[in-house]
Structure 1
Amino acid sequence: MSIAVTKFIVAGVTGSSAMLSEAIHSTVDTGNELLLLVGMARSRLPADAMHPFGYGKELYFWSLMVAVLLFGVGGGISAYEGVRHMRNPVLLTDPHWNYIVLGLAMVFEGASFGIAMRAFLRQKGDAPFWRELRDTKDPTTVTVLAEDATALAGLVIAALGVYASHRWDMPVLDGAASLLIGLLLAAVASLLILESRSLLVGEGIDRDMAVALRQIVQDDPAVQSAGMPLTMHLGPDEVLVTLDVRFHPESSANEAAGAVERIERNIRARFPQVSRIYIEARLMMAGSRTVT
């Protein structure tokens, strides 16, 4: 927050629109971090009568709020300030304070980005970087990485805008830098909104994992056939799985019950993120009748 306050002061002293956009960006980032902490705390609440599957999706909701805040406040106000400054350019005074504050901000944001990146690399293991970034269901990881990367890009744009504006005595370039920062924030926020929306409305697991789950079921000797599982992410490390399983006609009820236990055990051994499994077991009888 102190960086944001410093940026506001320097923006007021020098008249830099790009610096003002960076101040707004830093303020929004501070608010976003608080919202993510709220989401993380809420998502850990135990299940209750009103929320029998727990509160894991709280994290998706608050991540959506972060993205909306980044889009509306960060991107919207920065773009507005850029356009306003381009229409009514104001000559910069001494730009040196801009460079000092932007340089310090790059150091802090770079350190934050490095910490977030190391945490993500530990989390992804041997999986390809871009694939894991696309497939991860932990919105905090994606949001922090996206915000830090955007912050660094914004700082570079602001520095170039201040330099070009002062170097060629064209204050309109400072406004253009502010507009570009706003568009960058809006673009990143739009991607985060799409991801959060998908998870909130009940995104399932990827097809490869679904096929692997079905194969685990079909590999059980008591199973005659199984449909594709119906799944939904309840949180970053919580997946709901429902299965429609048909057992061989000669299987007894006890044998089917034992098979259900084996299937659940094998699924959780391979996919520990599967927290809830519901199996609709069907015993094939004579003719085409089934007993469930």
Structure 2
Amino acid sequence: MSANGGTKAIVAALAANIGIAVTKFIAFLLTGSSSMLAESIHSVADSGNQGLLLLGGRRAKREATPEHPFGYGRERYIYAFIVSIVLFSLGGLFALYEAYHKAAEPHPIESWQWVPVAVLLAAIIMEGFSFRTAIKESNLIRGGQSWLRFIRRAKAPELPVVLLEDFGALIGLVFALFGVGMTLITGNGLWDAAGTAMIGLLLVIIAATLAIETKSLLLGEGAESKEVAAIEQAVKAGPEVERIIHMKTLYLGPEELMVAAKIAVSPCDSAESLARGINAVEARIRTAVPIARVIYLEPDIYSAAADEAGTGAASHTAVPQPETGEQAAHPGS
């Protein structure tokens, strides 16, 4: 759901930004407004960013290889991080440079004075439709989370990126309208420079936010607390497991979770019964958390003495391992 919704939001934003970028650039050529130039580059950067997100989503679907045995799901995070760099450099820093240049040589808008206002109002309407689509698709997976928590905790990067870009674009358009409007009213080009500077600062802040959140995903995030609780409950729901000695989780991609756990099992003499028990636990985990697609379970015999020593297991106790057939610890298929 998140992947399809993210793609729909990206396509809507891409279509809007391409049209907006063209009209803004025409307005800049007619009027010489630095706010219009900054907004043109902003829309160009956003269009490129949406192209990068689509490319990242497509490349992430590649099958796993011996060189990349866990697949390419996290490639979506890499492209989202590149988006933050593009937004910072091409959008934010360029707008700040243009504001500095315009402040050094301010001049009023002397021709085609109605064009930038009309273009900005039309852009606000188009950007509003794109933002509305992003909100609608996000609500399908956001649940009861606040918007801030959704942006910070979402594992699929596309929707938070589009949400922040569209929100920033709308605020930037308001800043541009303010700068252009005050320039037309007062005849003082410094207002245009001020609007451009506000756009630049806004883009730098959004880019920094995206970079920080995407960096966390690149480093590797574990499952949410509710997912961890569901996995623990599933593991301990049957007679095969006495307790969980320790467990770790890691998102291999937005829709793929790895679970690795050492579990205490009852002593048994049959490798076959041990393997059946492990398979039963894996099946319960996948039922409870469907995105848990890669599961490694290591059986051991629990020892209170070893637990006090910090290992939690009888390190020298031999546990029968299956000689043929299914292995006790393996990624599920």
Aligning the two structures, in what range does the TM-score lie when normalised by the shorter sequence?
A: over 0.9
Aligned counterpart, 2:15: none
* AA of the residue aligned to 2:140: R
Which of the residues 42, 66, 79 maps onto 1:62? Answer: 79
- Pair 128,291 (structure 1): closer, same or farther in 2 beyond 3 Å: farther
> 1:280 aligned to 261, 279, 298, which one?
298
Instruction: Tell me, yes or no, if structure 1 residue 80 matches structure 2 residue 107.
Output: no
C-alpha displacement of 1:251 = 7.6
Q: Please, which runs of 5 or more residues in structure 2 have no aligned partner?
A: 1-17, 306-313, 320-333
| Cα distance in structure 2, aligned partners of 1:224 and 1:233 | 26
Indicate the RMSD between aligned Cα atoms, in angstroms: 2.0
Q: Check whether the contact 2:33–2:180 (CA below 8 A) recurs between aligned residues.
A: yes
Q: Which residue of 1 aligns with 2:157?
A: 139
SS at match of 2:299: strand
Deviations 1:234-290, CA, capped at 9 Å, x for gaps: 1111111111111123685444323212221111111111111111111459x9433
Residue among 25, 44, 54 paired with 1:27: 44
Aligned residues: 291
The 5 A counterparts of 1:29-178 are 29-94=46-111, 95-178=113-196
Q: Measure the CA separation in 2 of the matches of 1:253 and 1:25.
A: 62
Write the deviation string for residues 29-62 of structure 1: whole angstroms up to 9, x where unpaired. Answer: 1111111111011001111111111110111111
- Unaligned stretches of 5+ residues in structure 1: none
Q: What percent identity do the matched residue pairs reach?
A: 36
Give 4+ residue runs of structure 1 displaced > 6 Å after superposition.
none
State the partner residue of 2:235.
Answer: 217
Q: Tell which deviates more after alignment, 130-139 or 273-282.
A: 130-139
1:214·1:228 contact (CA, 8 Å) conserved in 2?
A: no
Question: What SS does structure 2 have at the residue aligned with 1:91?
Answer: coil
Which residue does 2:330 correspond to in 1? none
Alpha-carbon distance in 1 for matches of 2:245, 2:114 = 66
Identify if the C-alpha distance between structure 1 residues 204 and 168 changes in structure 2 by more than 3 Å, giving closer, same or farther.
Answer: same
Cα deviation for residue 126 of structure 1 reads 4.8
Match of 1:268 in 2: 286
Secondary structure in 2 matching 1:244: strand
Q: Which amino acid aligns with 1:249?
A: P
Does structure 1 residue 290 correspond to structure 2 residue 308? no
Match of 2:211 in 1: 193
2-structure distance, mates of 1:254, 1:284? 20
Distance 1:132 1:275 in 2: 23
